[in-house]
Amino acid sequence: MTLRLLRTLLLAAAGAGALGALAHEAVAQDQFHDDTPVHVAGQGDTLWGLSELYFGNSQMWPQLWAWNPHVTNPHWIYPGDVIFLGPRALRPADGPARHQAAALPDSAGLYFPLGGFYTSTEIPSVGTLRFARADRRLLQPLDEVYLEFEEPENVRIGDEYVINRVEGRIQDRRETVAVKYRTTGRVRVTQAHESTPLFSAEITDLYDTIERDDLLFVAQPQILLVEPRENTVDLEGEIIDRLDPIRFMHQFHTVFIDLGQNDGVRVGNRFFMWQREDMGESIRLAREGRAYQEEVRSLLPWQFVGEAMAIYVGENYSTAVILTANVEVSVGQRITLQAGH
């Protein structure tokens, strides 16, 4: 289906409300080839469901998201959303547009969004999102905000910065041993002021809730191309935290692992997840308000329950995305890295 035909069908079938929701996308369509394959989202559609439908692999949803930067949250697409099924190529300034066929991502790599990470120490920020014109606590794309920089003389109009928030600290004997950052969005500097050291900026991307006093860092890619890499060391660790505030995780959730570069972990390494459990017995005990005694649990063999891939690796901690899981994954889950895999 071409965008020209799609536009005609939408005009015929949609009401004023639906057209309003599509207005932002329609403005941008004219600069791209009309032959880019598209899907109009329906009730219950998800990016992983569409990846399974069109590409036969639900794990290609990060690539699909990368093709659709107007989708600010990969967990939510809405009826009427236009989802591009391939990369959009710019129309030449002169001459007719050339046909751009949908292309599948390189089988050697997968695309993942970087939603957050752990570091061993606090990273110095380059500035702070101090104020905003909106009369809301939660900010959104196109909002005008005011930025304060540590070195304002180095800031130029058009500079872009990633917005992060410190979400927590792990302490040992009152010393901070790890800092958790959540990536919330992106801003572009639009104006300098003579009367104040603050800079005006516009929020360009929203990855999570953006608030005043969030921190600014030098812009870096937030959609990462990760190529699988063979493990070179044998390691054992555990999942110490998760990105989203939920108790149990499953496929495509982001987790944090207590192994990093200093241990021999590299981006693209695969972690194996393990547990020892008799689920039927666990359910029975839970109904009785009891739990396994550790000496009983230790009699059970370890069972493989899934895989996760490292997408960002710091000195002592790694950010990973769960690729497969046949049970609910939780903080404290045992993981291993096996050389040769």
Confidence of residue 279 (pLDDT cuts 50, 70, 90): low
The residue-averaged pLDDT of 170-196 equals 86
Confidence of residue 280 (pLDDT cuts 50, 70, 90): low
Q: Determine the Cα–Cα distance for residues 194 and 293; give it in Å rounded to an integer.
A: 68
Whether residue 238 sits in one domain with residue 169: no
Whether residue 147 sits in one domain with residue 53: no
Whether residue 241 sits in one domain with residue 209: no
Residues 128, 130, 134, 140, Cα dihedral to 10°: 10
Q: Does residue 201 belong to any structural domain of this protein?
A: yes
**What is the three-state SS of 292-303?**
CCHHHHCCCCCE
Q: What is the pLDDT of residues 79-110, one digit of tens each?
A: 888 888 876 543 333 333 332 333 434 445 78
Whether residue 204 sits in one domain with residue 295: no
- Which of 52-61, 104-113, 183-192, 213-222 shows the lowest mean pLDDT across its residues? 104-113
* Structural domain ending residue among the three candidates 46, 75, 104: 104
Q: Please state, as a whole number, how many other Cβ atoms lie within 10 Å of the Cβ of residue 93.
A: 5
Whether residue 100 sits in one domain with residue 7: yes
As a whole number of angstroms, the longest Cα–Cα distance in the chain is: 75
Domain that holds residue 152: 116-222
* Structural domain ending residue among the three candidates 207, 222, 237: 222
Q: What is the pLDDT of residues 226-248, one digit of tens each?
A: 989 999 999 999 999 998 888 88
Tokens linked to 68: 């659709």
* Structural domain ending residue among the three candidates 104, 124, 152: 104
In this structure, are residues 138 and 214 in contact, taking their beta carbons and an 8 Å threshold? no
Whether residue 212 sits in one domain with residue 136: yes
Whether residue 330 sits in one domain with residue 240: yes
Tokens linked to 80: 């009427």
Tell me how many domains the chain contains.
Answer: 3
In this structure, are residues 260 and 119 in contact, taking their beta carbons and an 8 Å threshold? no
What is the CA angle 74-76-78, rounded to 5? 125
| Cβ contacts of 172 within 8 Å, gap of 6 or more | none
Q: What is the pLDDT of residues 34-59, one digit of tens each?
A: 466 888 888 888 888 888 888 777 77
Q: Does residue 111 belong to any structural domain of this protein?
A: no
Q: Does residue 232 belong to any structural domain of this protein?
A: yes
pLDDT of amino acid 96: 31
